[in-house]
Chains A and B, each alone.
Chain A
Amino acid sequence: MAVKVIIPTPLRPYAGKQGSAEVKAATVGEALTNLTTQFADLRKHLFTDDGKLRSFVNVYVNDEDIRYLGKENTPTKDGDTISIVPSIAGGCCCLTAFGPLVEAGL
């Protein structure tokens, strides 16, 4: 089943500068795993070292937060849209939860 994953601006540098990607998946967890297989640099930004979704990254299926569905086991169907919604603090010049240091492994 093909789902569309919308990639937020702060993560686009790690996803081939794309705003979205199509992946085949039956659950949200599968979709994110497949996405990070396609874009290996994304993995560190979305998951902790032990493979858990980072606590400050919110994920939605269509307009619903997966925390109120089945979390990463939430089933997806053809045509669903998954949104990754990071916390951004900027009012002016911008801070987000994703930095180059993560990528660099520093």
Chain B
Amino acid sequence: MATTTQTQTGAKPAAGLSKEEILRYSRHLIMPEVGMEGQLKLKNAKVLLIGTGGLGAPLGLYLAAAGVGKLGLVDFDVVDFTNLQRQVTFGTSDVGKPKSQAARARLSNLNPDIQIESFETQLTSANALELFKDFDIIVDGTDNFPTRYLVNDACILLGKPNVYGSIFRFEGQVTVFGMPDGPCYRCLYPEPPPPGLVPSCAEGGVLGVLPGIVGSIQAMETIKLIIGNGENLIGRLLLFDALGMKFRELRLRKNPNCPMCGSHRTIHKLIDYYEFCGVRGEEAPVPDLKVPEITPRELKHRLDRGDDLFILDVREPHEFQICNLKGHLIPLGELPRRVHELDSSREIIAHCRSGKRSADAVDFLRKAGFRKVLNLKGGILAWSDEVDPSVPKY
């Protein structure tokens, strides 16, 4: 499963730096806070990055550049064009390649003196402990609740620090979990939000620089843990608001009754985190609502022959600006109070980007008494694929 480039000489801790390494790390070496001692600690450190995406990009780049002796990269995903806006490890020529491999190639080029292992796999309860055991510090740069809880629990079971970062649009959170006297993720959020409250793509989007900043703070915390200098974000949650350009800090307490890290632990092994979070994996999403559908080709055919169809677009206004099918725009969230804008005697075709939100809209409208309402299967994405390629996909 693991692919390794470069190998360190022997399994013994490195006792010194080569002449080339001294030159490469000279700006660390001339700082008393790092110095030769700190640089050797970095060289002997083993850090595992969970996720090589938005947060993983600055993490990988800075930790490799700093001379962390062994970096593990866990990611099962493949680079796509929408990643390039923020995942600065990757270049345009990497599109289509596995992220862990593309990141390994980039980081090996940045620093050929370190060992990099890529794990092209999804982190699961079955492989997490095995993957984590060879590393000193785990850095969580994932993008979903089940993996957050999995990383937390595996770190607590193995007694390893978990450098946590997460982002949403303009906002970031960073802290260090899993230290002996510090709290864990479950102390902060004992339970995940119910799946019904985890949103669809309408709430998506992230400003590209944000993961750069948050991931860089995680990299800084990781390096401080390794060199044993400075004050880490242990028991402190750093909140970053990029829009207001404000950093704030909240105190995190270790919950004495925490089922994971409290004095009476009730969780002794890894569990099924998708079940815990009430969701299936991204690879196996919860089945969509069963509502009457129309395919893009059928819709095109019916429009061409002049059928009276009312196109209802339930996306957000900013999505409408990207591309649209000249439909009537009512964002899903506004549908209940704007339902009077619709004529139930006409046939309504609801659509969104991928067909998920519009399925909810169709379900809602049918429950509200609308009889002639269909969901455009696959949304505007499928329309672009099957009918009109000039409609951009996003």
User: Is B189 within 8 A of A58, CB to CB?
Assistant: yes
Which of A19, A89, A104, A105: most chain B Cβ within 10 A?
A89
Contact with B along A84-98 (1 / 0, CB 8 A): 011111111111111
Task: Give the chain A neighbours of B72 by CB distance below 8 A.
Answer: none
User: Is A106 within 8 A of B363, CB to CB?
Assistant: yes
Contact with B along A21-51 (1 / 0, CB 8 A): 0000000000000000000000000000000
Task: Give the chain B neighbours of A58 by CB distance below 8 A.
Answer: 188-189
Partner pick for B51 among A68, A91, A100, CB 8 A cutoff: A91
The distance in angstroms between the C-alpha atoms of A97 and B142, with both chains bound, is 16
User: Is A101 within 8 A of B193, CB to CB?
Assistant: no
Task: Give the chain A neighbours of B243 by CB distance below 8 A.
Answer: 9, 19
The reply to whether the CB of B216 lies closer than 8 angstroms to some CB of chain A is no
Which of B168, B188, B196, B250: most chain A Cβ within 10 A?
B168
Interface size grouping (class) on chain A: 35 or more
Contact with A along B219-242 (1 / 0, CB 8 A): 000000000000000000101010
Q: Tell me which residues from 181 to 211 in chain B have a Cβ below 8 Å from any Cβ of chain A.
A: 188-193, 196-200, 202-206, 211
User: Is B192 within 8 A of A56, CB to CB?
Assistant: yes
Partner pick for B166 among A54, A90, A103, CB 8 A cutoff: A90
User: Is B167 within 8 A of A91, CB to CB?
Assistant: yes
Task: Give the chain B neighbours of A92 by CB distance below 8 A.
Answer: 51, 53-55, 83, 86-87, 141, 143, 167, 206, 211
Task: Give the chain B neighbours of A89 by CB distance below 8 A.
Answer: 142-145, 148, 166
The distance in angstroms between the C-alpha atoms of A56 and B198, with both chains bound, is 12
- For the A-B complex, the count of residue pairs with Cβ-Cβ distances under 8 Å equals 155
Task: Give the chain A neighbours of B204 by CB distance below 8 A.
Answer: 93-94
The distance in angstroms between the C-alpha atoms of A89 and B54, with both chains bound, is 13
Which of B54, B56, B142, B199: most chain A Cβ within 10 A?
B199
User: Is A96 within 8 A of B168, CB to CB?
Assistant: yes
Task: Give the chain B neighbours of A87 by CB distance below 8 A.
Answer: 145, 188-189, 192-193
Partner pick for B332 among A86, A91, A100, CB 8 A cutoff: A100
The distance in angstroms between the C-alpha atoms of A106 and B361, with both chains bound, is 9
Q: How many residues of B contact A (CB 8 A)?
A: 61
User: Is A100 within 8 A of B202, CB to CB?
Assistant: yes
A91-B165, A92-B86 as given contacts; A100 in contact with B171, CB under 8 Å = no
B205 to chain A, nearest CB (A): 7
Task: Give the chain A neighbours of B320 by CB distance below 8 A.
Answer: none
- Of all chain A residues, the one with the shortest Cβ separation from B165 is A91
Task: Give the chain B neighbours of A94 by CB distance below 8 A.
Answer: 143, 167-169, 203-206
User: Is B197 within 8 A of A97, CB to CB?
Assistant: yes
User: Is B143 within 8 A of A102, CB to CB?
Assistant: no
User: Is B189 within 8 A of A96, CB to CB?
Assistant: no
Partner pick for A56 among B169, B191, B252, B332, CB 8 A cutoff: B191
Knowing that A65-B253, A91-B211 touch, tell me 5 more A-B residue pairs with CB under 8 angstroms. Answer: A63-B249, A83-B248, A88-B167, A92-B206, A96-B198
3 smallest A-B Cβ distances: which pairs? Answer: A99-B199, A97-B193, A92-B53
Q: Can you give 6 contacting A-B residue pairs, CB < 8 Å?
A: A9-B170, A63-B251, A92-B206, A93-B54, A94-B203, A100-B357
Q: Which residues on B are within 8 Å of A, measured CB to CB?
A: 51, 53-56, 83, 86-87, 140-145, 148, 165-171, 173, 188-193, 196-200, 202-206, 211, 237, 239, 241, 243-244, 248-253, 331-336, 357, 360, 363-364
